[in-house]
Amino acid sequence: AGEGEPLSRLDFPFIGLSAHLAAHPLLWEPILLADEGHVLPLPGGWEENLSVCQRMCVRKALRRDKLLELLIQLVAFELGAAIAAPSAPTLASGLKLAGGHEPITLLTAGNAEPVRELQRLCDWVRGPGRLRVVSLGQGQGSVAERAMRIGAEAGEWVLLQNCHLLPEWLPRLEAIALEQAREQEGALALQQAEAHEFAPLPKSASAAALGATDAPKAAALARTA
């Protein structure tokens, strides 16, 4: 059926649906008006005679305001409730998706304040006292640059707050992040090249060398609201 096509023009298996709705408005009223009407069974045997997808089409036509909930129901039926369940992103999940040299942008709303949660996460991942916080504003660009340099060298995290107060400096932030990414890639390539010049080390010695030479990674997290 095309967008907005009348129910009376629908073909099998929807033949008679429009007539039934018109003849029994009280049966259909809860589906049309109730807040949770989109989860109620279709009356008149339509719930049993239509497939899951066909029932979704009927509910979509009658309750377009519940389209998102209907889609979640369909995904849950086809793929399972665990797939359909919405999950709020967390700082930890964002950290898993980003590399050590990739900035993470935190968009906050209202009075949300992620610093405390970020501090706890940093304490757990990098150790206590490894988070540097810079509140951006007029004249703070050089302060932020210095913090990012030190953080990259020491393996610390840097939180740049209120980026919206210094928009003219954001291109410089991007340039620093790209430069640090290239430096890290070069360091890793150099370590790999040097490794080919020597005979293989015993497993225990290789593990110790890896722990000693692994370059520290810094993640710059920018709060933009």
Which residues make Cβ contacts (< 8 Å) with residue 217, sequence separation at least 6? 99, 100, 101, 155, 184
Give yes or no for a cis peptide into 13 (omega within 30° of 0): yes
Alpha carbon 71 to chain centroid, angstroms: 19
- Read off the pLDDT of residues 62-76 as tens digits, 9 standing for 90 and up: 998 888 888 888 888
- CB–CB of 222/103 below 8 Å? yes
- Read off the pLDDT of residues 82-125 as tens digits, 9 standing for 90 and up: 777 766 667 777 777 776 667 777 777 666 677 888 888 888 88
Residue 45, both tokens: 């045997």
Q: Residue-wise pLDDT tens for the chain (225 aa)?
A: 444 455 556 677 888 898 999 999 999 999 999 988 889 999 999 999 999 889 998 998 899 888 888 888 888 888 887 777 766 667 777 777 776 667 777 777 666 677 888 888 888 888 888 999 998 888 899 999 999 889 888 888 899 988 888 889 989 988 888 887 787 666 545 444 444 443 443 333 333 323 333 333 333 454 333
